[in-house]
Amino acid sequence: MQQKKKACGYEGQDAMLFNSIEFLLFFPIVVVIYFAIPQKLKQLWLLLASYYFYMCWNAKYAILILLSTAITYASGLLMEGIKQKKYDAQKEKKLKNWVVVLSFASNLSILFYFKYINFALSTLGGMLHFAHIELNVPTFDIILPVGISFYTFQALSYTMDVYRDEVYAEKNFIRYALFVSFFPQLVAGPIERSKNLLRELAAPKKFNYDAFIEGTLLMLWGYFLKIVIAERIAAFVDKVYGDYYTYDGVYLIVATALFAIQIYCDFAGYSTIAMGAAKILGVQLMENFDAPYLATSVAEFWRRWHISLTSWFKDYLYIPMGGSRKGKARKYLNKIIVFLVSGLWHGAQFSYIAWGGINGLYQVVGEMLQPVRDKLVNRLGLNRNSLAHKMVCMAGTFLLVDFSWIFFRADRFMDALHIIKSILSVHNVWILFDGSLFKCGLDEGNFRLMLLSIFILFLADLCKKKRIEIRKVIMQQDQWARCLILSCSVVLLLVFGKYGPGYDAAKFIYFQF
């Protein structure tokens, strides 16, 4: 993903990565001071820590978070003031609408400039060239602020929640600024709602030993997903996708299947570490992933994948556009629009838009074919609750989702088409058996360890789907047993973790969004 990463705000910065030595020093210091200082200073301390965390990426871009915070904070107070003026319902709604429009327009304008301006100008230039109109389109040298899409959407959700009277306008600026910038989930989510996170931050907690152990378990599991699985897979996938003309056919099939696991472990790893870090601080963040690859349909997959973003688009885009209330045709159109916007949210490239559009089409076509599938199941006498039927549905869902990941992973849209063409013209099946796969960034030992780790992930997700919480089981054990599990987990991470080229901390994929 080299070309897609060039615009990331973390390039050239002393980044505070979760899997870096800097963070492993920073976080304990934050925790110790947080629980040592008086209650009235805790929110301010977390706010200062959060801004320091972000400024380690690019100090000057902290101004953007502060600006977004100030705009949305003021919008909440303005709407609260309008409600207290006791205007008639029509005038009150009109004034509140203007506040929302101004809040969204200003925040989205900032996001557009930093993330989409070059894409928009190059697209315009291409369209004019196609129409035989030559125009010298400028290109801006912009470094994308890390996490800008995440904190912008989180701040805008607050504006909408106040508009809908779902929360009161927050009058404490420090608490609200902390809501927007809370460092565990600042740069890659989950995208929290004001109804949850503002309430969690309102009453700082005292140190809780059980919360500390549970949070540490979450963090260790997140590190396992990232440095044991995701980074090991990345070595293989980057090698193959980086030279897909050489590594064609089955190489690309294997790399594409593995990328589906890589991006899951990379992103879920970050979210899980964020949940664990917040848990230690006494803050409960929402679950962002729920065993997505055990879904039996694409619609179910999207209810389990990046839950915070999926629900954001549902609540703040799909439903306001009419949702399913205006007939089937409008419902299908709304779904396509939401997924196209979701693709654009991920990045300013046509490959991302294609990825979003494909997943939108999956949902629409799947719903349109539901009656046909129901009749077919009845005529064949199939049992939808049988293990065999569920496994077939899971495999089919994985294939569909994995196909769309090609567009997400490829550097450009045309690269994705070349990769698909290569996959469809398979001619080198023998590489599965002659050891050729062990020459693609991973030796045989690391390749087998990767497969074992994926199997462990599958078992963990299977437990999650059956609502068996492994960490709750661990928490029920004696203290010596919990300490032993924690110690062994740390040792295993140190022994089997892969930290990237030269053992440097490797970046999380979703930091570029």
Bond before 190 cis per omega within 30 degrees? yes
Predicted pLDDT of residue 2: 44
pLDDT at site 13: 45
Distance (Å, rounded) from C-alpha 229 to C-alpha 52? 29
- Distance (Å, whole) CA 279 – CA 397: 33
Distance between CA atoms of 241 and 508, rounded to whole angstroms? 18
d(CA 511, CA 273): 14
In degrees, rounded to 5, the angle at the alpha carbon of residue 45 between the alpha carbons of residues 43 and 48 is: 110
What is the average pLDDT across 284-307? 93
For residues 189 and 272, give the distance between their C-alpha atoms in angstroms, rounded to a whole number. Answer: 10
Q: What is the pLDDT of residues 150-162, one digit of tens each?
A: 999 999 999 999 9
Identity of the residue numbered 190: P
Q: Which residues contact 112 (CB under 8 A, 6 or more apart)?
A: 120
* Catalytic residue (one of 132, 346, 389, 418): 346
Task: Give residue 374's pLDDT.
Answer: 84
What is d(CA 419, CA 414) in angstroms, rounded to the nearest whole number? Answer: 9
Residue-averaged pLDDT of the chain? 88
Amino acid at 89: A
E-assigned strand segments in 283-371: none
In 3D space, the residue among 320, 310, 316 whose CA is nearest the CA of residue 346 turns out to be 310
| Neighbour tally for 127: CB within 10 Å | 11
Burial class of residue 68, CB neighbours in 10 A (0-12, 13-18, 19+)? buried
Do the beta carbons of residue 190 and residue 285 sit within 8 Å? yes
Q: Which two tokens stand for residue 5?
A: 């990463």
Categorize the per-residue pLDDT at 7 as very low, low, confident or very high, splitting at 50, 70 and 90: very low
Residue 32 binned pLDDT confidence (cut-offs 50, 70, 90): very high
Per-residue pLDDT for 9 more than 90?
Answer: no
40-57 burial, b at 16+ Cβ within 10 Å, e below that, comes to: eebbebbbebbbebbbbb
Residue 403 in contact with residue 227, Cβ under 8 Å? no
d(CA 344, CA 351): 9
Q: How far apart are the first and last CA of the chain?
A: 13
Q: Which SS3 state, helix, strand or coil, does residue 144 take? A: strand
Q: Residue 139: left (phi > 0), alpha (psi -120 to 50), or beta?
A: beta
Per-residue pLDDT, 130: 78
Longest dimension (CA), the chain: 78
Q: 235: closest CA among 501, 6, 431, 502?
A: 501
What pLDDT is attached to residue 175?
94
Instruction: Tell me the two tokens of residue 245.
Output: 């003309």
Q: Is the omega angle on the peptide bond into residue 204 within 30 degrees of 0, that is, cis?
A: no
**446-499: pLDDT as tens digits:** 999 999 999 999 999 999 998 888 888 888 888 888 888 888 888 888 888 875
Residues 40-95: tens digit of each pLDDT: 999 999 999 999 999 988 888 899 999 999 999 999 999 999 888 878 888 888 99
> pLDDT digits over 169-228, tens only?
999 999 999 999 999 988 877 899 988 899 999 888 889 999 999 999 999 999 999 999
| 118 vs 137, higher pLDDT | 118
3-class DSSP state for residue 196?
A: helix
Phi first, then psi: give them for residue 459, nearest 5 degrees: -65, -40
Contact yes or no for 43/204 (Cβ under 8 A): yes
- Identity of the amino acid at 93: K
Reported confidence tier of residue 109, pLDDT bands at 50, 70, 90: very high
The question of whether 346 is a catalytic residue gets the answer: yes
Q: What gap in Å lies between CA 360 and CA 339, rounded to an integer?
A: 5
- The Cα 413–Cα 400 span in angstroms is 18
Residue 322, pLDDT score: 84
Angle, helix 42-58 to helix 62-84, in steps of 10 degrees: 140
Helix H segments across 410-443? 413-424
Give me the sign of the Cα torsion angle 297, 299, 303, 307: positive
pLDDT of residue 272: 94
For residues 416 and 404, what is the distance between their CA atoms, to the nearest angstrom? 10
Structure tokens at 170: 């927050």
* pLDDT digit string, tens, across residues 340-361: 999 999 888 899 999 999 999 9
**HEC sequence for 445-513:** HHHHHHHHHHHHHHHHHHHHHCCCCHHHHHHCCCHHHHHHHHHHHHHHHHHHCCCCHHHCCCCCHHHHC
pLDDT of amino acid 388: 87
Residue count of the chain: 513
Q: What value does the mean pLDDT take over residues 104-125?
A: 89
Helix/strand/coil (H, E, C) string of 65-102? Answer: HHHHHHHHHHHHHHHHHHHHCCCCHHHHHHHHHHHHHH
